[in-house]
Structure 1
Amino acid sequence: MRGFRMAWWLSLWLVACSVQALPWTIEVVDGLDRQQTLAEVQLQLLPARQQVAGGLTDGSGRFSLNTEMADDSSTTLTLKKHGLVVIEAPCPCNGKTYAMLPVKQNFDGLRIVLTWEADGLDLDARLIYPGKNLYFETLKGPDTLLEGADKPGHGPEVITLEKKHAGDSYIYAVHDFTHGTTARAHQLSLSQAKVQLYLGKTLLRTYKVPRQRVGNLWTVFRITGNSELQDINRLGEVRGEPADAMSEVEVLLDDKVAVSSLEVGAVPQGDAKTLNEQGEATYKAGDVLRSRDFFRQAIEQDPAYAQAYSNLGLTHRKLGELSRALEADNQAIALASGATAATVRASAYYNSASIYEAAGRFADALALYQKAREQKASPVYDQAIERVRKL
């Protein structure tokens, strides 16, 4: 999957407009050592309805470009470098400095801080790792500590990972103790709960609870055995005693199990499905902008909804938002599962191939059209393959 992501990124150069390096400038630095600048960071400006522009930072971590896009509030700046957490920031961005943090790093001393706003709600921070379930009844584990669990109010509850054990995976989640046995509880989703990760004084990441979802367990992230931080950020339902609240996500302690496979209780997709259907109907009616909003809302409801990602990729392509289209297709391919998986993947491969073909990248387009046909036989894919072979 890493190779595919690199492929779509490199393809942007062939669909991007040519620009000259002049006045507009940003700087990119190491998030753990801000005196150290970062060279060869892949930069991209993504306007709402234009072709993308971008480049690489130079040896001093700087990038300059002559464009008005950087002053447009509808433009998104994306920064990527292998091994570092991706940054997506809204413009205006001229003259700003951006700090990038490593995906894999030493997590010794990591502090995980949970807070929330809703009154009358008791939320519990949870951490599991091989042989240990850290929560309000245990408070301490091998090289871990939970503080603040006995305090009323809105937190904070703080878990400190004093030392990460080599080869061990860790799963962090938030449990709604107040509604631990309530079916279709929605209070956690409305709690404005927030989880922040700190190494020393450096804020690594902020997570906000998914909105408009049913569930009493918010599974937030995983740290893998080789120290890679992986976002989960999914809300689901669990039943039973507090000690068993994490039993459904223990499977993720095996790094071979994909984060996208997580199913916690019976999480209904009704709302997300309805939004996706509304998006499809709106798209067929010709209102592409509105359909894009419906697909985005469907994904907000269910972040693992592969069909919604595939549909979103199609709307981005129609609007000329090519890098966003490729990324949405990539997500659809990665998340597709169940009886419709082949159809979703085939559609996403086809959408991406169409972008490459329009950009004149015929070899890449052919490879993706063939992948679409491998997933599902269709005369449309056959015709596309024959067409590109003749170019």
Structure 2
Amino acid sequence: MGSNGVGSHPTGSDRALPDNAIGVLDATRADRRIEAANVELRRDGQPTLAAASDAQGRAALDPAALRDPAARLSIRKPGYAELLAQCPCDGRRYALSPALASLDGLRVVLGWDAPGVDLDAHLSFPGNHVYFQRPRGLEARLDLDAADRRRPETVTIARRRPGETYTYAVHDFGHRQRPEADALARSGARVYVYVGQSLVRTYAVPAQPGNVWTVFRIDGEGRFEEIDRIAASRASADALGAELARAPGQAAVAAAVEGEDAVAANQRGEAAYRGGDLAAAIAAYQQAIELDPGYALAFSNLGLAYVRKGRAAEAIWTSRRAIALAKGPGAATIRAGAYYNIGKLYELDGQYERAMSNYLAAKREKPDKSYDEALQRVSGY
């Protein structure tokens, strides 16, 4: 039977939580409430209210502020990735992801608001299908498969395998025999993607009928393909893994239109970066990307901030996004620089084979003496 997969991030309103509170849980351990998390509301990048979670994982704040759609929620605790979410957020539960040590690790957390909906996370990659009946795959696992929406549905890739393609999807198990249903679209589902110590991507379920939401694909070089599409399928939960592996990707996306809000958030990030406030810069760039996922400049800026912050895994992820989004006459230069930065981070981590493959990719994009020197340096290992 499918899990009632809970909301990994906002798990929706819950009668156990009053409107003036939020709940904080661990995304990888069942029923573990997090005490002493720093909960903060921000508006236009500036903190407005703050509280700490108690022994039950609850933090009380002004209910009107929690309902403000212009407010942004931040939850932080040492050892966990910072959670960022757009309000309204009154009476909801949020799950924090423990920080990932691997440069190639990834965690995906699923959550939704609607009661009575039975959603399940699926991860498909060569020879593996991770879901509620097969919770373990090769260096990947289903951490939590909860039976109600107050808990998270969490999948972790401990270490991505080079050259392999991963596809992540959400299945409306309760409507597996009614693929035309729109319960998934109305569920309020959210998917949160974590790399290293950071939340790097948030997806909201599209308003489309169907029972399978294919969210994203990771190609053999670690680049994200934004699929974000709902389709109808009568496949069983077990057969869904093979179906996802064959599912078409997204067609070439038109150049993103940078909305005014995304531009403003990016500009706040640039100002914070120049002022040396890396935490505020990262938060602003993340908000810009959430508002406009195709905003290449925000990805580029975020990568620089992560490097300065010492967040190698996050810097690699944003560099890969910059590679995927690079267009126009300067695209080769952007891709070459991004590949080189990835190679350097792998070299510093002692992963010389991966470092070499990225240095070679940089050289293919645009020959440069520094790339030759890097290749010579790692060839000795």
- TM-score, normalization by structure 1: 0.40
Larger Rg: 1
The structure, 1 or 2, with the larger RCO (C-alpha pairs under 8 Å, 6+ apart) is 2
TM-score by length of 2: 0.41
Q: Which has the higher helix share?
A: 1
